[in-house]
Every structure is written in structure tokens, then in C-alpha cells.
């Protein structure tokens, strides 16, 4: 390994360590730590390395799916190219709030573009990330910036519970179809 590659690797380790240990929030470090991976995932270019930003027990939830654990999160994002011919976050702003020592909530106000069956679909979204010790433990994608329907956010808890069960079932079917989170051979 050349000196430049070693210096670069050392810099990345220091940057990640600085992010994990930061007492004050540095939005640039947070952005550099997670955004390239999220842009790959939403942009149909996800690789196994992109999912290293998640804690092993992390969850991902959007209006269609509820994934539990990194393997199911992989299945959710590896399924995107099977559904969409184009997908990307075209514009975003990022905000971060410290919620406790070592814990950060990241809000990514964004516009997403998809192409399905030859039709363009543009979507305004709010991605909410709960991070602990530099890893994502909860990833929510609120389409049209509306909270996800669950037993806590709807008037009738039974309706919310039904929405949760539907998202969970959708995820389990997707997980099975996508090889149970197996990384594709790129």
C-alpha cells in the first residue's frame, strides 16, 4: 500500500473516531460519514460497504416496509433496482441535534426522483436517522414529510397496528425474494 493510500486510510479512521467521540456536533463530519452511503443506497448503487453505517440491530421504516436488522435493510435497498429504472436523492439539506452524549438525531430534508414503468415520480421526503456511537439505529423515511402511521400516530391504535403489520409483511416477502439480505455479486 502506497504512502498516499495509508495517509488517506489513517485520515478516514481519525475522521470516524472524531465523529464517534465528538462532544459538539460537526455537521460536515456527520454529512461525510453518512451521506455518500445514503446517496448510493437511494441511487441504486448500494454495496455491502454502504450498510456499515448501521448498527446490527438497526431498523428501517417507510410507508411500505418495516425492516429489522441490517440484512433486512439490505434487502429493502437491494430491491429498489428491481422496481425502479431510476432512483436518486436529487437535493437535500441536513440538520443534526444531539439528543444525549454519543446520540444524534439527523434530519435530511430531501427531494427524491424515481422512474417506474417509464413515468417520472418526484417525492418530497424527510429522512430521520437516530444515531448512537456513530451508527444508525433507526432510519425512517417520511414521504411527503408525513409521520409514519403506527399505533402511536393514528387516532385508532388498531388501525396503526394494522399498518405496522402490513409494512412488516411487505418487508418479509421482499426479504425472501431478495435472498435474505445476501449481497449481490458486483
pLDDT value at residue 25:
66
DSSP string, 139-151: EEEEETTPPPPST
State the greatest distance between any 2 C-alpha atoms of the chain, in Å, as a whole number.
61
Give yes or no for residue 51 having a pLDDT over 50.
Answer: yes
Please indicate whether residue 137 or residue 17 has the higher confidence score (pLDDT): 137
Which of 1-15, 115-129, 156-170 has the least mean pLDDT?
Answer: 1-15
Tell me how far apart the alpha carbons of residues 64 and 70 are, in angstroms, rounded to a whole number. 17
Written as nine digits, the cell of 92 is 437535500
pLDDT digits (tens, 9 = 90+) for 63-73: 999 999 999 99
Identify the bridge partners of residue 94 per DSSP, sorted by sequence position.
Answer: 108
How far apart, in whole angstroms, are the C-alpha atoms of residue 44 and residue 61? 18
Please, which pLDDT band fits residue 186 given cuts at 50, 70 and 90? low
Task: Look at residue 79 and tell me whether its pLDDT is greater than 80.
Answer: yes
Domains defined along the chain, listed by start = 3-52+60-177 (3.10.450.50)
Residues 118-157 have pLDDT tens digits of 999 999 999 999 999 999 999 999 999 999 988 888 888 8
135-143 and 54-61 beta bridge pairing: parallel
Measured over the CA atoms of residue 78, residue 183, residue 170 and residue 111, the dihedral's sign is: negative
Please report the sign of the dihedral spanned by the C-alpha atoms of residue 179, residue 182, residue 183, residue 186.
Answer: negative
Place of cell 453518512: 34
Q: What is the pLDDT of residue 88?
A: 97
Q: How far apart are CA 98 and CA 30, in angstroms?
A: 12
d(CA 52, CA 56): 9
Amino acid at each position: 500500500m502506497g504512502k498516499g493510500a495509508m495517509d488517506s486510510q489513517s485520515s478516514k479512521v481519525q475522521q470516524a473516531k472524531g465523529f464517534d467521540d465528538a462532544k459538539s456536533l460537526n455537521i460536515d463530519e456527520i454529512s461525510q460519514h453518512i451521506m455518500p452511503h445514503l446517496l448510493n443506497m437511494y441511487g441504486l448503487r448500494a454495496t455491502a460497504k454502504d450498510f456499515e453505517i448501521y448498527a446490527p440491530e438497526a431498523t428501517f421504516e417507510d410507508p411500505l416496509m418495516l425492516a429489522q436488522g441490517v440484512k433486512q435493510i439490505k434487502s429493502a435497498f437491494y430491491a429498489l433496482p428491481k422496481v425502479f429504472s431510476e432512483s436518486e436523492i436529487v437535493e437535500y439539506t441536513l440538520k443534526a441535534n444531539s439528543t444525549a452524549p454519543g446520540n444524534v438525531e439527523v434530519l435530511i430534508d430531501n427531494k427524491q426522483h424515481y422512474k417506474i414503468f417509464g413515468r417520472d415520480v418526484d417525492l418530497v421526503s424527510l429522512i430521520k436517522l437516530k444515531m448512537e456511537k456513530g451508527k444508525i439505529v433507526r432510519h425512517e423515511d417520511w414521504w411527503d414529510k408525513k409521520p409514519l402511521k403506527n399505533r402511536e400516530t393514528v387516532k385508532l391504535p388498531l388501525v396503526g397496528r394494522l399498518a405496522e403489520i402490513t409494512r412488516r409483511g411487505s418487508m418479509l416477502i421482499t426479504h425472501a425474494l431478495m435472498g435474505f439480505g445476501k449481497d449481490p455479486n458486483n
